[in-house]
Structure 1
Amino acid sequence: MCLITFAILLFLQQQFSADAAPMENTIVAAKDDLNTEWAKQISRQAKAAEIHVMLNTKVNPCVDFYQYACGNWHRHNPAQLLNHIMTDRFQLIAAAFDRRLEQILNEPRDDNVLEAKVKNFYHACELVKKDDVRYRVSLQHAYQEFGKLPLLDGEDWKEEEFNWWETVANIQHKYGKQIILAVDIMADIANNTGNKVYIGPPDFSISSNTKIFSVLQELTTVEHMKRFFGVEEAKAKAVAKEMIKFERALVHGGSDSRAGLTLHDLLALKPVEKLREIYNESLDLQRFLELALGVDQVPDSVYVYDEKYFVSIIQVIAETPKHVIANYIIWQMLQEYLVDLEKGNVGKWCIERTKKYFGKYVDYMVYQRYKDPRVEREVLDVWEEVRETFRTELHGNKLDWIANSTREYALEKLDAMRLYINSYESENFTAEYASLQVTRNNYVENVQQILQMESGKKLQRLRGPVMPLEAPEVLSFTPAYNILENSIKIPVALLQPRHFWGPQYPQALKYATLGYLIAHEMVHGFDDDGRNYDKAGNLHGWWDEKSTYQFEERRKCFQAQYHNYRYGGEQLPNDVSQAENIADNAGVKLAYEAYQRWLSAQRAANATDIESRETFAQLHFDNQQLFFIGFAQLWCDDVQSFFRTAVAASDSYVPSIYRVIGALSNFQEFSWVFRCSQDAPMDPEFKCAIY
Structure 2
Amino acid sequence: MIYQSLRLLLGVILVSISLSDAAASHPFATNYTIDILRLAKAAHIKAYMGENPEQTCSNFYNFACGNWPRLHPARVSNQRTNYLEELQELYLRKSAEMLKSATRGAENSADRQLKNFFGSCRLQTNDTRSALATLLNVADFRGGWPEIRVPSWYQYEYDWLQVVANLKRKLGVDIFIGLEVILDYKEEKMHRLKLGAPQLPMTRRHYLDPHFAGTRELYERSIFNKLQFYFPDQSEHWLREVANQVLEMEQQLAKGLPHNAALTLEQTTRQRTAAEMKAAYGSYVDVTRYLQLIFNDNLYMDIYENPEDYMSNLVDVIRETPKLKLANYTMWKALEALDAARVPQSQQPDIWCVQLAQRYFPHQLESLFHRNYNHMQMINELQSTWSDIKRVFKEDLQASERLHWLTLETRQKAISKLEALNLQFRSHDDNKLIRQMHGLNLHPELFYPNLVAVLQWQTQRGLAKLMAEPITEDQVYKLPHYEIHKNRIQVPITFLQARFFWDPAYPNALKYATLGVLLARQMLHGFDGVGRRYDAHGYQNNWWDDTSETSYARRTQCFQEQYAIFVEFKGKPVQDKDLLRRIVADNGALDIAYRAYQQWLKNAAETPAIYQRESLPLLDYNHNQLFYLGYAQLYCTDYPESVERFDELPEQLRINTALSNSQQFANAYSCSRGDKLNARYKCNLY
TM-score (norm 1): 0.73
Once the two structures are TM-superposed, the CA of residue 241 in structure 1 deviates from its matched residue by 7.4
Contact 2:139–2:163, Cα closer than 8 Å, also in 1? no
Amino acid at match of 1:133: R
Offset, 1:510: 0.8
How far apart are 1:516 and its partner, in Å? 1.4
Q: How does 1:187-206 map to 2 (within 5 A)?
A: none
Q: 1:334 to 1:531 in 2, by over 3 A?
A: farther
* Alignment partners' CA distance in 1, 2:167 and 2:230: 21
Structure 1 segment 43-192 matched on structure 2, within 5 A: 43-58=37-52, 59-81=54-76, 83=77, 85-111=79-105, 112=107, 113-129=109-125, 131-140=127-136
- 1:36 counterpart letter in structure 2: T
Matched AA of 1:470: Q
Deviation of 1:530 after TM superposition, in Å, equals 4.0
Shift, 1:607, TM fit:
5.9
Is the Cα contact below 8 Å between 2:93 and 2:351 reproduced in 1? no
Tell me by how many angstroms 1:513 deviates. Answer: 1.1
What letter matches 1:495 in structure 2?
L
- 3-state DSSP class of the match of 1:609? helix
1:428 and 2:426 matched: no
Q: SS of the counterpart of 1:101?
A: helix
Structure 1 residues without counterparts, runs of 5 or longer: 14-24, 259-265
**Partner residue in 1 for 2:575:** 573
Partner of 1:504: 505
The one-letter code of the counterpart of 2:491 is I
Partner of 1:418: 422
Aligned partner of 2:474: which letter? Answer: L
- Cα-to-partner distance string for 1:547-569 (whole Å, 9 max, x where unaligned): 44554566666566266242241
Worse-superposed segment, 493-502 or 576-585: 576-585
Match for residue 383 of structure 1?
386
- Seen in structure 2, the aligned counterparts of structure 1 residues 7 and 469 have a Cα distance that, compared at 3 Å, is closer
Distance 2:19 2:489 in 1: 43
Q: Using the TM superposition, give the Cα deviation of residue 32 of structure 1 relative to its aligned residue in structure 2, in angstroms.
A: 7.5
Partner of 2:353: 350
- Aligned position for 2:209: none
> Helix, strand or coil for the counterpart of 2:39?
helix
Which residues in structure 2 correspond to 1:287-326 (within 5 Å)?
none
1:406 CA drift (Å):
4.2
Partner residue, 1:627: 627
Residue aligning to 2:643 = 644
Q: Residue 469 of structure 1: which of 471, 474, 485 is its match?
A: 474
Aligned AA for 2:634? L
Per-residue deviation, residues 175-216 of structure 1 (Å, max 9, x unmatched): 77799989675799999xx6777989999989999x999999
CA distance in 1 between partners of 2:296 and 2:414 (Å): 42
CA distance in 2: counterparts of 1:456 and 1:544, whole angstroms = 51
C-alpha contact (below 8 Å) 1:73/1:636 kept by paired residues? yes
The 1:388/1:298 distance shift into structure 2, 3 A limit, reads farther
Moved more, 343-352 or 249-258: 249-258
Q: What CA deviation, in whole Å up to 9, does each residue of 1:418-439 have, x standing for no partner?
A: 3133343666322222232323
* Residue 69 of structure 1: how far off its partner (Å): 0.5
Q: Is the 8 A contact 2:178 2:199 kept in 1?
A: no
Between the aligned partners of 2:519 and 2:198, the Cα distance in structure 1 is: 29
Tell me the residue number matched to 1:22.
Answer: none
In structure 2, C-alpha distance between the alignment counterparts of 1:359 and 1:455, rounded to whole Å: 16
CA 1:281–1:55 in structure 2 vs 1: closer, same or farther (change >3 Å)? farther
What letter is aligned with 1:70? Answer: C
String of CA shifts for 1:505-550, please: whole Å, max 9, x gaps: 1111111111112222223334444444443444444444554455
Quote the Cα distance in structure 1 between the aligned partners of 2:311 and 2:580.
31
SS in 2 for 1:419: strand
Distance of 1:600 and 1:7 partners within structure 2: 32
| Fraction of identical pairs, as percent | 24
- For 2:573, the aligned partner's letter is Q
Distance apart, 1:89 and its partner CA? 2.0
Q: CA deviation at 1:64?
A: 1.2
Q: CA deviation at 1:407?
A: 3.9
Separation of aligned partners in 2, 1:349 and 1:432: 24
Asked which structure has the greater CA Rg, the reply is 2
Counterpart code for 2:505: Q
Is contact 2:482–2:525 with CA below 8 Å preserved after alignment?
Answer: yes
Contact 2:139 2:167 in 1 (8 A): no
- 2:515 aligned partner: 514
- In structure 2, distance between residues paired with 1:87 and 1:400: 41
| Counterparts in 2 of 1:202 and 1:234: CA distance versus 1, 3 Å | closer
SS at match of 1:489: strand
The residue correspondences of 1:210-225 to structure 2 (distance < 5 A) are 223-225=225-227
8 Å CA contact 1:340, 1:346 repeated in 2: no
**Cα separation, 1, equivalents of 2:552 and 2:309:** 34
- The residue identity in structure 2 corresponding to 1:656 is E
Q: How does 1:509-548 map to 2 (within 5 A)?
A: 509-545=510-546, 547-548=548-549
Cα distance, 1:40–1:542 mapped onto 2, change above 3 Å: same
| Matched-pair contact (CA < 8 Å) for 1:54–1:73 | yes
Seen in structure 2, the aligned counterparts of structure 1 residues 452 and 623 have a Cα distance that, compared at 3 Å, is: same
What secondary structure does 2:489 align onto? Answer: strand
| Structure-2 change in CA distance of 1:313 and 1:588 (3 Å) | farther
2:367 matched to 1:368?
no
Letter in 2 for 1:387: K
Work out the CA distance in 1 between the residues paired with 2:447 and 2:594: 49
Q: Which runs of no fewer than 5 residues in structure 2 stay unpaired?
A: 207-211
Task: Kindly state the Cα deviation for residue 8 of structure 1 after the two structures are TM-superposed.
Answer: 7.6
Aligned length: 647
What does the per-residue CA deviation read over 1:101-144, in whole Å, with 9 as the maximum and x for residues that have no partner? 22222223445422221111112223334642121233456678
Post-superposition offset of 1:681: 2.6
Check whether the contact 1:568–1:644 (CA below 8 A) recurs between aligned residues: no
Aligned counterpart in structure 1 of residue 652 of structure 2, from 648, 657, 662:
657
| Cα distance, 1:300–1:10 mapped onto 2, change above 3 Å | closer
After superposition, the Cα gap between the structure-2 partners of 1:346 and 1:48, relative to the gap in structure 1 and judged at 3 Å, is closer
Amino acid of the residue matched to residue 362 of structure 1? L
Relative distance call for 1:562 and 1:297 in structure 2 (3 A) is farther
Supply the AA of the counterpart residue of 1:121: F
List per-residue Cα deviations over 1:123-176 (Å, max 9, x = no partner): 22233346421212334566789x99x9999x9999xx999xx99999889877
- Sort the Cα spacing of 1:573 and 1:584 in 2 relative to 1 into closer, same or farther, 3 A: same
* SS of equivalent to 2:638: strand
Amino acid at match of 2:364: Y
**1:247-267 deviation per Cα after TM superposition (whole angstroms, max 9, x unaligned):** 999999888789xxxxxxx99
**For residues 174 and 525 of structure 2, what CA distance do their matches in structure 1 show?**
28
SS in 2 for 1:399: coil
In the aligned structure 1, how far is the partner of 2:311 from the partner of 2:683? 42
Question: Secondary structure of 1:362's match?
Answer: helix
In 2, distance between residues paired with 1:582 and 1:573?
Answer: 17
- How far is 1:456 from its partner? 4.7
